């Protein structure tokens, strides 16, 4: 069975650059490389672009969407499997538990929440799976600066900076991810 990667990304498309194009390329290339995609289950924003492109490339896509968000994010009915969860906590638990790696595209607070969860779980030794942030146009630099600030002020050891990889573009992210 192919490895699964959780793709964390926005339910909006963002501005000012073509984040939607990045999301579509991510879904397409992951599917063509044989990765199973696990994601938040929506058909809107970057989430929808990742899923649509992966399905178009004959990829396997599994989504988890909380019941409360089913109407807002419109659960994607065209994916391989859509599971409805009672809440965000169960959504994240299932996404994290069902993945061999984590890849983050630009996104909002939900994306930040997902990244912080997997980084914290790795720091605490609950997993040793790769975490890759696609830093297109320097999107993740403020996050990196905040984590550096947390280490400089003594609230985390400097090695937390090594728990994730900042990839400058999709090619570098996929290289860091490795084969499915």
Q: Can you give the residue ranges of every domain in the chain? A: 4-174
| Number of helices (H), then strands (E), in the chain | 6, 7
pLDDT value at position 21?
A: 97
pLDDT value at position 73?
A: 66
DSSP 51: H
pLDDT value at position 70?
A: 81
4-174 topology per CATH: Rossmann fold (3.40.50)
Q: Is the pTM of this model over 0.75?
A: yes
Beta bridge partners of residue 65, listed in sequence order: 84
Low-confidence ranges of the chain (pLDDT < 70): 73
Phi/psi at 161 (5° precision)? -65, -20
Q: In whole angstroms, how far apart are CA 123 and each of 1, 143, 159, 173?
A: 28, 16, 9, 21
């Amino acid at each position: 069975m192919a490895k699964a990667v959780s793709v964390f990304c926005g339910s909006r498309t963002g501005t000012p650059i073509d984040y939607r194009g990045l999301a579509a390329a991510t879904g397409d290339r992951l599917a063509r490389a044989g990765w199973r995609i696990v994601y938040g289950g929506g058909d809107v924003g970057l989430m929808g672009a990742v899923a649509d492109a992966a399905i178009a490339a004959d990829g396997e896509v599994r989504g988890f969407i909380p019941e409360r968000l089913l109407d807002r994010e419109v659960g994607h009915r065209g994916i391989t499997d859509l599971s409805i969860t009672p809440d965000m906590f169960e959504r994240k638990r299932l996404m994290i538990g069902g993945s061999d790696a984590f890849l983050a595209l630009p996104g909002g607070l939900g994306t930040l929440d997902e990244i912080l969860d997997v980084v914290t779980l790795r720091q605490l030794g609950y997993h040793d799976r790769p975490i890759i942030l696609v830093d297109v146009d320097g999107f993740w630099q403020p996050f990196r600066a905040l984590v550096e600030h947390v280490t400089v002020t003594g609230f985390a050891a400097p090695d937390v900076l090594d728990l994730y990889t900042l990839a400058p573009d999709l090619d570098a992210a996929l290289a860091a991810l490795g084969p499915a």
